[in-house]
Amino acid sequence: MRVLVVGAGGVGAAFAAIAQRREAFERVVLADVAPERVRSVVASLGEPARFSAERVDASDQADVVRLIGRVRPDAVLNACDPRLNVPIFGAALEARVTYLDMALTPSRPDPSRPYERPGTLLGEHQLAQHEAWEQAGLLALVGMGVEPGLSDVFARYAADELFSTIREVGVRDGSDLVIEGYDFAPTFSIWTTIEECLNPPLVWERGRGFYTTPPFSEPEVFGFPEGIGKLQCVNVEHEEVVLVPRWVVCERVTFKYGLGEQFIDVLRTLHQLGLDSTEPTAVGNVKVAPRDVVAAVLPDPATLGNRMTGRTCAGTWVRGTGSDGNPLSTYLYHIADNEHTMREYGSQAVVWQTAMNPVVALELLDEGTWQGTGVLGPEAFPPTPFLERLEHLGAPHGRVELPA
């Protein structure tokens, strides 16, 4: 297949490194607004017959449409910040091509009661266009990273194979990653990290629907497997809460990060000082958004791999009644070890763990194992072929039973 990857940052580069080892990818075109960055990624792959570089302004839908017309891909993979989803998503529909991304369009809090009810939901802009994509006979597979993405596949697998009824689907994310030389250095985009952690967290309950809580609410201690250990996890806004109830029958959906007290304290301080704001502020003769300043002074997460040690764990905790009629509590998870991902792919663990999932999804779509039209999340597709393909790729998942 031929794939156009829009965005050559950490995740886009990791996707290319993984796809290079997969025969299904005949041609991969990487496009970015920064020509030197995308040329560097392509040069590092050393296969000019399969990987090439283009410049594109992803904020300009017409520019993306023109690039799709030149490249003629079978699919467009959006590896950009979710703020750019609208023009890339719109360009794919206009150009009539399959679309994938790894995060949904951002939310907007309710202006009067932000910690009680949602305003604009994550992905609302994209999911509202389901019928347009369906009528065009096209697929937009949204949220196909690791969280959302693999976490949603786990939820569907649990519903199909392990449970007769599900009380709660709870995504739980934690790590023991350490970054040498930095007291504070997020392992993923700080812009996205602030958005997720300081927006009102979202919860879904059957009969109540969606509601919000204050940031870092409902703390709990969760024991992560394979020696990562116990971490305090708190509510965070995330796409699974929107996507999972659309296809998985359950009573409640939550998402919690194991952030750690220091990380939470830094984010709270940024919020108290107004440094999380996206509204431009006058500084001398220029206007700049405080959050962009924070992002500019922190290190690029894609460059931290050589300073990182440890592992990151993404997983889905499902509780309810098992297929045998007995109470069941299961955590399905995937762990990425930074030493392994750096040695094998030259990518730090967090971006590699995100990028491997669209590789698998594209292969399943290319061969027809996954099929669909409209705007769909990962839980809309059969989960077993995905998990089997992950194992073939050398990234098997794990499962632990917890006290019911």
CATH at residue 90:
3.40.50.720
Whether residues 186 and 331 fall in one domain: yes
> What pLDDT is stored for residue 198 in this prediction?
85
Query: Are residues 85 and 212 located together in one domain of the fold?
Result: no
pLDDT at 147: 97
Q: Which residues of the chain fall below pLDDT 50?
A: none
What pLDDT score does 359 carry?
A: 98
Q: Which two tokens stand for residue 102?
A: 């790894």
For residues 202 and 89, membership in a common domain is answered with no
**Same structural domain for residues 10 and 83?**
yes
Task: Assess whether 44 and 165 both reside in one domain.
Answer: no
Global confidence as pTM: 0.94
Identify whether residues 332 and 262 lie together within a single domain: yes
Q: Can you give the CATH number for the domain in which 213 is found?
A: 3.30.360.10
Q: Is residue 40 part of a domain?
A: yes
C-alpha 294, offset from chain centre: 21
Q: How many structural domains is the chain composed of? A: 2
Residues 82, 189, single domain; the answer is no
**Taken in order 12, 16, 19, 24, is the CA torsion positive or negative?**
positive
Report pLDDT digits (tens) over 206-244. Answer: 999 999 999 999 999 999 999 999 999 999 999 999 999
Beta bridge partners of 221: 232
Residue after which a domain boundary falls, among 304, 326, 349: 349
pLDDT digit string, tens, across residues 313-347:
999 999 999 999 999 999 999 999 999 999 999 99
**What three-state secondary structure class fits 73?**
coil
CA distance 175 to 303: 18
Domain that holds residue 229: 150-349
Q: Is residue 376 part of a domain?
A: no
Domain boundary among 101, 133, 166: 101
